[in-house]
Amino acid sequence: MTKEMPKHFDPIGSEKHWYADWIKNGYFHADECSDRVPYSIVIPPPNVTGSLHMGHALNNTLQDVLIRYKRMAGHEALWMPGTDHAGIATQNVVEKQLASMGTDRHALGREKFIENVWEWKEKYGGVILQQLHRLGSSCDWERERFTMDDGLSIAVREVFVRLYHEGLIYQGDYIINWCPRCHTALSDLEVEHHDRKGHLYHIRYPAVDGSGEVVVATTRPETMLGDTAVAVNPADERYRSFIGKSFHLPMTRRDIPLIADDYSDMEFGTGAVKVTPAHDPNDFEIGERHDLPKMVVISMDGTMTHEAGERYEGMDRYECRQKLIEDLREGGYLVKVEDYDHAVGQCYRCQTVIEPILSLQWFVRMKELAQPAIEAVKDGRISIIPGNWEKTYFEWMYNIRDWCISRQIWWGHRIPVWKCGDCGEVIVQVEEPKTCPECSSSDLHQEEDVLDTWFSSALWPFSTMGWPQETDALKKFYPTSCLVTGFDILFFWVARMIMMGIKFMGDVPFKEVYIHALVRDSEGHKMSKSRGNVIDPLVVIDQYGADAFRFTLTAFAAMGRDIKLAGDRIEGYRNFINKIWNASKLVLSYLEEVSGEDLISPPDAGEIHNRWIRSRLATVIAQTRESIEGYRFNDTAHILYQFFWHEYCDWYLELAKPSLYGDKGESALHETAVTAGMVLDNFLRLLHPVMPFVTEEIWQRLPSEGASIMIAPYPEAMPDDADEKAEEIMNVVMDFITTIRNLRTELGIPPSTRVQATFVCPDSGIAEMLDGSSADIIRLARLSDIRFAKKREVDAGLSAAVVRGQEVLISAADDLDRGAESERLSRELAKVNVELAKVEKKLVNPQFLDKAPDEVVQKNKDLLEELVAQKGKLQENLERLND
């Protein structure tokens, strides 16, 4: 017996009830000991400081579609959840909290500060995961991980130690991107470049021997105080006589050499460049080649050092710039100042302009790790979808630089390196040493820096499954099946996971990478607080429900195309839910005598509408599976929407009503009730990965077998139900009904008025199809009768239309407006002429004929023939009308 449905679907109540039920029954949990084929995804771990935004909503909706589909399709499906400790971001949040209390981390000390961060994490860190519950994410919450939990911390130390002992981690002086606000180094990827209006300062450096001068140009004049050379191209004839000479560095007591180096571009500016090895990465490389001294003139807090000279020491870098320009102008060294637009690097967290500074940091040598990761994508072990991102991936990997992994903050994985205070021995190991292995001293000091957050994230696919232990989870679920992510972290995270996975697991971390696009506002603008166009996913869920929101994101997730999101679109799909709900109420009212076994193994269909909808369902099942497997999520949504609304509701349920009402007898009633219920059951299971809540709510009321739709089998293609003849008949019938409805509308014939129709059918096959369904045509087209003829009789009182090369004539009102009818036929003729021109153009195009598949060419030839016939019929009707 089916359960009665409420009048309206209650999304909020349903979401709370069913999500709790799914968790209670352990439906999200994956079993590493099962014999099912594994399918696994690791969630891109959101920052522990974060809250759900549109990017998260899209990313996690698509992951949930995949994981629910695979779970229903019989796989042992694992979706590994967790959060990232987000070193700089989290420390900034807690430091702001401390500042509001009138203190700071230095006053607390490191140990107490870390305790405060953990307390904050326990109180607020799970917010975003709870928000994922609202979205319906079916993660295996029993396995939830955090990048600084005990297991992952061991994995991080193990990786660091192994890389260090293999010579792939080293410490050295290098130009790093330094944030004076966050007081930490940033990797190249953590620096955001923004175009700014600035100035280009041209400065004169005179030769010490009075033989001339060189002019250099810079956007950062304060760095000239750290210049240790001027470089020119060795092929530049203008400076050949100057090479090896000394030049006076203005505003200092130092002289610097002019050197020859290929880095200098003869075509840019004056061809002479200032060389500041401690404050520019390119200059650093020049300094290494020429053994130049490295003078640090800007300190870690953005002020000028003693090396900058007494006049500027202690000044802020920008204050120094203004003072220096004044001094250069007064001294006659400033040649000119030009307006100059250029890209300025800023901290991705606080937007402070970064300062390239020479510093002792820890690095990973990347070239050796990158090559196997390049090969993995080249040989197809990893597919990046859409494929155009592979080019971007290769460009970055081939030009990869060593990765600065040390950060001068306190929250994070502290680098597992200790130095003996007595003998200077450096100890690198997983466990904290008690004494020095060389001198047995207990005076050991651990490295103060922590590791870049992305270091631990790079291990995510295997550390979350228990590595370095050989766990059952790793054996079952690694490598993972797919990674769903945004393009913005392709290098931050994806490439590094590939490198680390191959290095430590001997295999790729995932087989496919699906890169989704951005969610933008309705005008196509990127969402940002400054624009005021940010849409809060939780507000959307409260207003429309999670199902409507998820379906909207899925429907617009076309591969490689950004999503333009607006409220009216979400509202439109909420209406789709209402349609599903109301249609289900109708069908359920006829399922009292239908069993679960009937839905699984329905009797053979005899009624044409039942044969047709079963055949269409078989096609839709195959198309839906194919679209999800191919990451064509928008196609999945479109296929299901069109099938349910425009085929099942608009046509099938209308065609089925006489059978359901008992007008065709008990047998037809049972057959149609079973078919309607079976199609609804299959549709709900097809739709469940996208709309989990409403599908469960309705499915629970069907006489289906099983505890929950989310563990019910995903529908499989039913080739035995394919019925080309039934589809052909129904397509003809629907075309004729639609044509008559359109004619009635154009002629202003009210729905209550029944009219006679004449079908002029030279094609006896079509006539037979129409005759067999005449009762349905009369009912749905609101006709009084149908007459069949093989050729047109002259009758000026009939309005005509052409469909499939046949004519449809209906009786018009006695006072037919011949002028209006002529205009209508002329409009139809114009439409046909436009379509005809398009098809003719294709069929005379040699490229189309050569490249298009044979079936496509033939389809266009058939269409041409049909359009020519249609044109002829319309012209005849116009001539008759005007006679």
- What string of H, E and C letters represents the secondary structure of 41-79? EECCCCECCCCCCHHHHHHHHHHHHHHHHHHHCCCEEEE
User: Cβ neighbours of residue 409 under 8 Å, at least 6 residues apart?
Assistant: 87, 88, 91, 182, 183, 184, 450
Give pLDDT, residue 158: 98
Amino acid at 764: S
Q: Residue 734 contacts by C-beta under 8 Å, 6 or more apart in sequence?
A: 651
Q: Say if strands 403-404 and 355-364 run parallel, antiparallel, or are unpaired.
A: antiparallel
What per-residue confidence (pLDDT) applies to 89?
85
Helix (H) or strand (E) holding 379: none
Q: What is the token pair recorded at 233?
A: 């191209």
Strands 444-446 and 417-420: antiparallel
Residue partners of 248: CB distance under 8 A and separation at least 6: 205, 206, 207, 208, 254, 255
- For 54-64, letters b (16+ CB in 10 Å) and e give bbbbbbbbbbb
pLDDT for the residue 529: 65
Cis bond before residue 713 (omega within 30° of 0): no
> Tokens 């003829």 map to which residue?
789
Spell out, as residue ranges, where the chain has pLDDT lower than 70.
1-3, 187, 189, 528-530, 794-799, 812-818, 821, 873, 876-877, 879-883
Q: Which DSSP helix (H) or strand (E) runs through 254?
A: none
Run of H or E residues at 231: strand 229-232
Handedness of CA 789, 790, 793, 799 (dihedral sign): positive
Q: 880, 877, 858: which is closest to 869 by C-alpha?
A: 877
Look at residue 426 in the predicted model and tell me its pLDDT.
Answer: 95
The per-residue pLDDT for 450 is 95
Confidence at residue 881, expressed as pLDDT on a 0 to 100 scale: 60
- Return d(Cα 221, Cα 606) in angstroms, integer: 87
Does the CA dihedral 342-348-351-356 come out positive or negative? negative
User: Distance of alpha carbon 604 from its chain centroid, rounded?
Assistant: 43
Show the tokens assigned to 519.
């969610």
Separation CA 433–CA 425 (nearest Å): 12
Give all strands of the β-sheet with 272-275 in edge-to-edge order: 246-248, 255-260, 229-232, 272-275
- Name residue, tokens 């990869």: 400
Instruction: With beta carbons less than 8 A apart as the criterion, state whether 82 and 145 touch.
Output: yes
Instruction: Indicate the SS3 state at residue 508.
Output: coil
With 0-12 / 13-18 / 19 or more C-beta atoms within 10 angstroms meaning exposed / middle / buried, residue 471 is middle
Do residues 77 and 139 lie in contact, with contact meaning Cβ atoms separated by under 8 Å?
A: no
Dist. CA 658–CA 664, nearest whole Å = 7
Which conformational region is residue 506 in: left (phi greater than 0), alpha (psi within -120 to 50 degrees), or beta? left
What the block records as the tokens of 320 is: 């120094």
Mapped onto helix, strand or coil, the DSSP state of residue 216 is strand
Give the length of the chain: 883
What's at 682, amino acid-wise?
Answer: N
Residue 786's H or E segment, with its range, is strand 783-789
Per-residue model confidence (pLDDT) at position 796: 46
Q: What is the largest CA-CA distance in the chain?
A: 117
Q: Which residue, chain included where needed, has tokens 């009210």?
A: 750
Q: How many helices (H) does the chain have, and how many strands (E)?
A: 30, 29
Quote the tokens at residue 85: 């400790």
Res 544: pLDDT: 96
